[in-house]
Structure formats: structure tokens, C-alpha cells
Amino acid sequence: MAKLMYFAQLAETLGRTSEQVVLSASVGDVKTLIDWLGRRDEAYRKGLAEGKGLAITVNRAAATLETAIHDVDEIAFIPERLK
């Protein structure tokens, strides 16, 4: 399972600081993860808004929307104001 972590106002919006999810087979990069999460719940769609205003890390390394992800990765979404 992938571990997703959310910080600051994003955690407040989603009502959680982290979760473990089994990624859909169609999720292969950060952008498709954000799209997939947005289809699960409106709060995710609004909070993640295609990565705008967020720093994203995959396994604690800086990532972009095109960064590949796997079902065992740790993915963090950090509001840019905290960087």
C-alpha cells in the first residue's frame, strides 16, 4: 500500500494527516494519483487541485506531477507556504 501524507491546511480540508491506499492499476504518476483521489471525494479534488500550490515528495525526494509512483511509495503533499 502507498502511504499518503497531508500537511497544514490540506490536512484540515481532508480531515486527516495520512492514509494508506491501494493504488489503482491506472495510477502511475503523481498527476494520475491526484486525478484518482479527486474522483474518490470532492474534498480531495478541491484540496489537491492538480498539485497547484503544493510541494510534492515521493519517498522524501522532491517530485513533479510526472514523477512515477508505485504502490509501496510514501507520497507527501505539502502546501507551498510551508516549504
pLDDT in tens, 2-56: 999 999 989 999 999 999 999 999 999 999 999 999 999 999 998 998 567 899 9
Average pLDDT over residues 61-67: 96
Average pLDDT over residues 53-68: 96
Range 35-42 contact pairs with CB under 8 angstroms and sequence separation of 24 or more: 37/4
Q: Which fold has domain 2-82?
A: Ubiquitin-like (UB roll) (3.10.20)
**Domain ranges for the chain:** 2-82
For position 53, what pLDDT does the model report? 86
For position 49, what pLDDT does the model report? 80
